[in-house]
Structure 1
Amino acid sequence: MKEISMLDHDNLEEFRDPQTFDLEDEGYYADWPLTEQWTRSLGGPLLDLACGTGRIALRMAAEGYQVTGVDIVPEMIERARQKAIQQGVSIDWVVADARTFHLQKRFPFIYMLENVFQFFLTREDQEAMLARVREHLEPEGCFLFETRNPTPHNLLEVRHPDPPKYTLPDGGQLLTTEEQYYDPMIQIQHYTRQLTFLYPDGQRQEKTLHTDLRYVFPQEMEALLFYNGFQIRACYGNWQQDPLTATSPAMIYVCQRRS
Structure 2
Amino acid sequence: MFNNEFSDNLSKYANPGEYDKTYKGYTADLAFIEAHLAGNPQAIIELACGTGRLAIPLAKQGHTVYGVDIDAGMLKFAQEKATAENLNIHLSLQDCTQLNLPIQSNFIYMTGNSFQHFLTNESQDALFDAVKKHLNPNGEFIFDTRNPILHELVEGDCSEEAIVQQGELTKVISREIYNPLTQILECTSTYITSKNEYQDHINLRYTYPLELKRLLHQHGFELIALYGSWKKEVFDEKSVSMVVHAQLKS
Q: Would the TM-score normalized by the shorter structure come out above 0.5?
A: yes
Match of 1:23 in 2: 21
Q: Cα RMSD (Å) of the superposition? A: 2.2
Cα 1:30–1:176 change in 2 (3 A) is farther
Matched, 1:214 2:205: yes
* Match of residue 50, structure 1, among 48, 51, 59: 48
Q: CA deviation at 1:100?
A: 0.3
Residue 233 of structure 2 aligns to a residue whose secondary structure is coil
Does structure 2 conserve the Cα–Cα contact (< 8 Å) formed by 1:154 and 1:249? no
The AA in structure 2 aligned to 1:236 is: Y
Matched, 1:251 2:239: no
State the TM-score, normalized to the length of structure 2.
0.90
Gaps of 5+ in 2: none
Q: CA deviation at 1:166?
A: 3.7
Does structure 2 conserve the Cα–Cα contact (< 8 Å) formed by 1:237 and 1:250? yes
Does structure 1 conserve the Cα–Cα contact (< 8 Å) formed by 2:46 and 2:66? yes
* Match of residue 114, structure 1, among 108, 112, 115: 112
Identity score, percent: 34
State the TM-score, normalized to the length of structure 1.
0.87
Residue 204 of structure 1 aligns to a residue whose secondary structure is coil
Does structure 1 conserve the Cα–Cα contact (< 8 Å) formed by 2:160 and 2:171? no
For each residue in 1:43-65, what CA deviation from the matched residue of structure 2 results, as whole angstroms up to 9, or x when unmatched?
52111111001010011011121
The AA in structure 1 aligned to 2:176 is: Q
Cα 1:251–1:112 change in 2 (3 A) is same
Runs of 4+ in 1 over 3 A off after TM superposition: 156-162
Match of 1:76 in 2: 74
* Match of residue 143, structure 2, among 142, 145, 148: 145
d(CA) in 2 for partners of 1:97, 1:40: 29
Residue 253 of structure 1 aligns to a residue whose secondary structure is strand
Does structure 2 conserve the Cα–Cα contact (< 8 Å) formed by 1:58 and 1:89? yes
d(CA) in 1 for partners of 2:157, 2:87: 35
| Residues paired across the two proteins, number | 247
Q: CA deviation at 1:29?
A: 1.6
Residue 138 of structure 1 aligns to a residue whose secondary structure is strand
Please give the residue correspondences for 1:60-209 in structure 2 after superposition, counting only pairs within 5 Å.
60-152=58-150, 155-156=153-154, 163=161, 165-168=163-166, 171-196=167-192, 198=193, 204-209=195-200
Compare 159-168 and 39-48 and name the one that shifted more: 159-168
d(CA) in 1 for partners of 2:184, 2:101: 31
Gaps of 5+ in 1: none
Does structure 1 conserve the Cα–Cα contact (< 8 Å) formed by 2:173 and 2:191? yes
d(CA) in 2 for partners of 1:48, 1:148: 19
Match of 2:8 in 1: 10
Does structure 1 conserve the Cα–Cα contact (< 8 Å) formed by 2:187 and 2:202? yes
Does structure 2 conserve the Cα–Cα contact (< 8 Å) formed by 1:108 and 1:140? yes
Match of 1:241 in 2: 232
d(CA) in 2 for partners of 1:6, 1:139: 30
Compare 88-97 and 13-22 and name the one that shifted more: 13-22
